[in-house]
Amino acid sequence: MKALKIALAALAALAAQPLTAQMERVPDRPAGEGEGPFGKLIIRGATVIEGSGAPPAGPIDIVIEDNRIAALYPGGAPAGELETAQRVVDANGMYALPGFVDVHGHNGDAAKAPNPSYGYKLWLAHGVTTVRGVSFYFGAGTPDIADARRSAANTITAPRLIPYAVFGDKWAGGAPDTPAKAREWVRWAKAQGYWGVKFFNGSSPEVFAAAFDEAEKLQMGTVAHLAQTGVAEVNARKAVELGLDDVTHFYGHFESLLKDGLPYYPEDYNYFDEQSRFGWVARLAPQAVEPGEAKWDEYVDLLVEEGVTLSPTFNIYSASRDVMRARSFDWHERYTLPSLMDFYAPSATNHGSYYKDWTSEDEVAWRGFYAKWFDLVKDFHDRGGRVTAGSDPGYIYQTWGFAYIGELEMFREAGLSPLAVIRAATLDGARSLYEPMDKEPPMGRIAVGQLADLVIVPENPLANLKVLYGTGHTRLNRETGAIEQVGGVRWTVKDGILFDAPALLADVARMVEEQRATR
């Protein structure tokens, strides 16, 4: 149980000063921030990318009544529908997609962003209408439950919030280090209102199995970050065999594919020195078998057969390939808080700020690591496995919202087709959240009866995912010679409420300027 105690001690360190006390309360949604819901809202003339993988079709008028899609009219709605609408949005020439689902969110560290609205608005401004928090807030207290309820009531400006709790966190019952205690903790988390459990490695196989089994009985989801401190005993293969629903990040995969029994680490390796930890992660790839070898194929087939979901969060580690590029992203100047830029900078204490002496050798190693990681996820996807998009924002130069679009771009780099990328971001993400309850999700595609969660974009994201960034895409107008910024989400609809995405970004820019002015 030593590894579990280490994991819980790390959580305790995060909560040494109660983050919930430091964070500001999410303000009520002010009048005029988001319109509706309406008795009838019509999105007129859009080309629809409906989320299941079907090709675009349009123009289509989308009729929304309250918070549901009531009708879809190819070619245009009847005059009677238009006459009785309280609001009509002209989307001619634009593209409508289902609201995006971010399956890996955090939003509870006042040292980075003290007002949770900062992250919530950035998510909405990039079309993210549902976020799974794993967790939103670490430590005692449950503002994540309160935020989720307020978002469901649309009294705050935020995506739909799906709260998961970290195994062993938040309660006063001590470490859940026996099967009986693990079951007790899971029942406690369910009673608080959590939808699922996020695991860090460190428990024994028996404790994992009990927790997974109890969660399944209670129709709760399970997701795991299988850290190096416990992966020798429970790697991804073992966790999936014990009943895990979702493997996030890369942890546990390459340890399941090693040529030899255990990974090699140098004699001076120290997991608690993050330069060492993350520098040597990339050196795992050459220790694993190659794509197409029997052990590789058998492992990928096992993941598919067991029905596990992969949420790789490619983008959160992408700075490891080129720190200089990540430090100079277009959006940092206007949309990244100074306090967040401070947190991102190389640090001996801030989690994820590990590039204290990051060399070209480290970056080359990470590029090689990504090549094999991409191959693994692509093989899994091509054999029928479900992949979902998660951003893990607030670390390693990955700012809320922008990081999510970066994840979609990296799915494309891994070899998924543009339609498959959108499906991972919408329908497959939604299904991964509702499958533990044996339900089809109420959102995730543009279809009659679904919740009115939509992203409306002036440019075609299937041709260029960059048009989804809040900063848009730089293009030379060949007729005038002018350099133009095109794209960016125009409207985000969540629960039938119409949000002006540029206005949300403007409010975020105001937050950044106000903080900068105090320095």
Kindly state the tokens that stand for 377. 């996820």
> Among 194-208, 303-317, 405-419, which is the least confidently predicted range?
194-208
Predicted local confidence at residue 18, as pLDDT: 39
With a cut of 60, say whether residue 13 has pLDDT above it: no
Task: Tell me the per-residue pLDDT of 312-351, one tens digit each, with 9 for 90 and over.
Answer: 999 999 999 999 999 999 999 999 999 999 999 999 999 9
Length in residues, the chain:
519
Whole-angstrom Cα Rg for the chain: 22
Average pLDDT, the chain: 94
Strands 95-98, 454-457: parallel, antiparallel or unpaired by DSSP?
A: antiparallel
Class of the 40-97+447-518 domain? mainly beta
Band (pLDDT 50/70/90 cuts) for residue 1 is very low
3-state SS string for 121-158: HHHHHCCEEEEEEECCCCCCCCHHHHHHHHHHCCCCCC
Encoded amino acid at 495, one letter: D
Pairwise CA distance, residues 27 & 108, whole Å: 15
Predicted local confidence at residue 201, as pLDDT: 84
Q: Are 516 and 338 in contact (CB under 8 A)?
A: yes
In the three-class reduction of DSSP (H, G, I as helix; E, B as strand; rest coil), residue 366 is classed as helix
Task: Tell me the per-residue pLDDT of 231-288, one tens digit each, with 9 for 90 and over.
Answer: 989 999 999 999 999 999 999 999 999 998 889 999 999 999 999 999 999 999 999 9
Domain 40-97+447-518 and domain 99-437, same fold? Reply is: no
Band (pLDDT 50/70/90 cuts) for residue 470 is very high
Q: What is the mean pLDDT of residues 109-138?
A: 95
Predicted local confidence at residue 8, as pLDDT: 46
Q: Please report, for the chain, the start and end positions of each structural domain, with discontinuous segments joined by +.
A: 40-97+447-518, 99-437
DSSP string, 187-256: HHHHHHT--EEEEES-S-HHHHHHHHHHHHHTT-EEEEE--TTTTTTS-HHHHHHHT--EEESSTTTGGG
Task: Tell me the per-residue pLDDT of 354-403, one tens digit each, with 9 for 90 and over.
Answer: 999 999 999 999 999 999 999 999 999 999 999 999 999 999 999 999 99
Predicted local confidence at residue 14, as pLDDT: 43
Partners of 138 in the beta sheet? none
With a cut of 70, say whether residue 502 has pLDDT above it: yes
- Residue 336, C-beta contacts closer than 8 angstroms, at least 6 positions apart: 329, 399, 512
Backbone φ, ψ for residue 348 (5° rounding):
-80, -10
User: What pTM does this model have?
Assistant: 0.95
In the three-class reduction of DSSP (H, G, I as helix; E, B as strand; rest coil), residue 164 is classed as strand
Class of the 99-437 domain? alpha beta
Band (pLDDT 50/70/90 cuts) for residue 468 is very high
CA distance readout (Å), 450 to 56, 360, 438: 18, 48, 17
Predicted local confidence at residue 138, as pLDDT: 83
Kindly state the tokens that stand for 117. 């609205």
